[in-house]
Amino acid sequence: MPLKDDRYTYRVTWSEEDQEYVGLCAEFQRLSWLDQTPEAALKGIRKVVEGVIEDMKHSGEEIPQPIASKRYSGKFMVRVPPEVHRNLAIQASESGVSLNRIVGAKLSR
């Protein structure tokens, strides 16, 4: 039975080492599925996630919430060297915007 309301974050990429496509799930970072086509790799990783969730339900483990369902505040702290902080503050001042605005613009590139 397919996983109901599967809203997990999947990615398929080529594995040069394995010479196959690898299906990955961001919420279950230790899981993967290798296959010959991207479509088969996606189908495989979704099936693996489905099985792991069933096992977690039976053992009473907490099931990860899909990233897409989480709410984000838009705030997080980043530590940078003092000279980087100074350079960003100068750029912000010269541009007539806040430090948050200049850093946000650089991160969104």
DSSP strands (E only) in the chain: 10-15, 20-25, 32-35
Distance, in Å, from the CA atom of 36 to the CA atom of 15, rounded to the nearest integer, reads 10
Q: Read off the pLDDT of residues 8-34 as tens digits, 9 standing for 90 and up.
A: 999 999 999 999 999 999 999 999 999
My answer on whether 59 and 18 are in the same domain is: yes
My answer on whether 56 and 22 are in the same domain is: yes
Asked if 26 and 8 count as a contact pair (C-beta separation under 8 A), the reply is: yes
The whole-number pLDDT of residue 86 equals 96
My answer on whether 38 and 63 are in the same domain is: yes
User: Is-above-0.75 flag for pTM?
Assistant: no
My answer on whether 18 and 63 are in the same domain is: yes
Q: Read off the pLDDT of residues 38-95 as tens digits, 9 standing for 90 and up.
A: 999 999 999 999 999 999 999 999 999 999 999 999 999 999 999 999 999 999 999 9
My answer on whether 60 and 77 are in the same domain is: no
My answer on whether 14 and 60 are in the same domain is: yes
* Gyration radius of the chain's alpha carbons: 20
Q: Which domain holds residue 94?
A: 72-107
The whole-number pLDDT of residue 1 equals 61
